[in-house]
A and B are shown apart, each in its own frame.
Chain A
């Protein structure tokens, strides 16, 4: 297994308006094989960070390295992004999405995708616009997790999914990713996601990381769950 960090960010800065930075000198390094929870209140810059890493936004300053190389258009081959929005063309059918992913991503496993769709009772010939919001989110997650890539960026992966399916999805996340890959998950549903996290980072406004570390170590040291620690840290 390579020791090169899957993701390395140094002094990352991003502001949508002058003088109001969303991220200020943000540093984060993710080693291979880790599932990291990026947790923080609304508007603290979690989604912005994921968009910067995936190239949807351009940083104002700082450096992003993906698998040891500076972020470029080629980096998209190593990144699998699940945005918080439904982003597929609603006129598409599920099987057309499988064809699209198979065509563009060499690492996409269509058999895995079909199996997961079948397990979640999603018909392959269904048009996306006929599916509920939760079903669409499941389709998106399946597409993203059916790739054997190096870095998965999951923005609120279970936000719109019913509690019964969450367990299956979390199980899917753990079992389907490449062991050399890393996953960054942002969510507010900390209690649900906590069991799958190796590491965590609490992020506050301005993109400052107020606490980070190994999830098990912190739980043992404090005797509290991440959910409880989060509530303490960000109590209004």
Chain B
């Protein structure tokens, strides 16, 4: 049944996703060419210059919208299937509720991963058309990343460790946020013991999530302090890198915690609705 559910969940996301993906991939080359012309100042005709600016603006707006869609579409599917009249169909299908949840969660992550991958490809195409000296911005981009990684490994591995840790924490935070958002719309699971188990898992997930978020900030301070006592030459460069990383992570944590608070509130609001009113509109 999971396969069947997944088929319909992915199918429902596919149409808009494929239209948007095609649009941003198609637009990335003209936007890159336009950007190149703007940088090299080679556009003399005002009309072309205006069109180039519109093309670039459209591309960036569409890319941002596309990324938001990537996260939102799966969550929206949860909302439509569980919180609107469509729930009459969802909950009367001869499918276990855990299967319904698993299928939608999988579809959400597949949709998010696919959106992220297409957005990355589109940005790389865009950069390949933007000139940077004798080369392209794409080449410069890879050179910068390569040098950054080389530096990260060269300072004794501390910065690289922090970078890896940062990516792991960001991945966990994004995953937990999406799961929480999905469960917030899907907590009609209290009918059975399985439902209660899922509720417990959500609470454990919330605790782990907050734990990571809160632990990481003092961790950054401790690492920063250790570095400041170890190598006087490396202090300035490494600390500035650490500070910017800390600011980035702090912002990420605050945003994610705000999202979590909203999700948890939604979760309990939903429980209240289910208990006291009909869950269906």
Residues of A within 8 A of B (CB): 16-17, 51, 54-58, 72-74, 76-77, 79, 81, 83, 85-89, 100, 103-105
Q: A16-B278, A76-B92, A89-B12 are in contact. Are A55 and B191 (CB under 8 A)?
A: yes
Q: Which residues of B contact A81 (CB under 8 A)?
A: 88, 92
Interface size of B in residues (CB-CB distance below 8 Å): 26
Q: Which residues of B contact A77 (CB under 8 A)?
A: 94
Do B8 and A54 touch (CB < 8 A)?
Answer: no
Residues of B within 8 A of A (CB): 4, 7-8, 12, 80, 85-89, 91-97, 190-192, 276-281
CB of A14, distance to nearest CB on chain B (Å): 11
Q: Which residues of A contact B80 (CB under 8 A)?
A: 89
Report the tally of A-B residue pairs with Cβ distances under 8 A: 61
Q: Would you mind naming 26 contact pairs between A and B with Cβ atoms under 8 Å apart?
A: A16-B276, A51-B278, A55-B91, A55-B191, A56-B87, A56-B88, A56-B91, A58-B190, A73-B94, A73-B96, A73-B191, A73-B192, A74-B94, A76-B92, A76-B94, A79-B92, A81-B88, A83-B85, A85-B281, A86-B85, A87-B85, A87-B89, A100-B8, A103-B7, A104-B4, A105-B94
Q: Which residues of B contact A105 (CB under 8 A)?
A: 94
Q: Which residues of A contact B279 (CB under 8 A)?
A: 56
- Bound together, the chains give a CA A222 to CA B96 distance in angstroms of 48
Do B92 and A56 touch (CB < 8 A)?
Answer: yes
Do A57 and B278 touch (CB < 8 A)?
Answer: yes
Q: Majority SS of interface residues in chain B? A: loop
Q: Which residues of A contact B91 (CB under 8 A)?
A: 54-56
Q: Which residues of A contact B85 (CB under 8 A)?
A: 83, 85-87
Q: Which residue of A lies closest to B81 (CB)?
A: A89
CB of B221, distance to nearest CB on chain A (Å): 48
Q: Which residue of A lies closest to B1 (CB)?
A: A104
Q: A73-B192, A85-B85, A88-B86 are in contact. Are A55 and B92 (CB under 8 A)?
A: yes
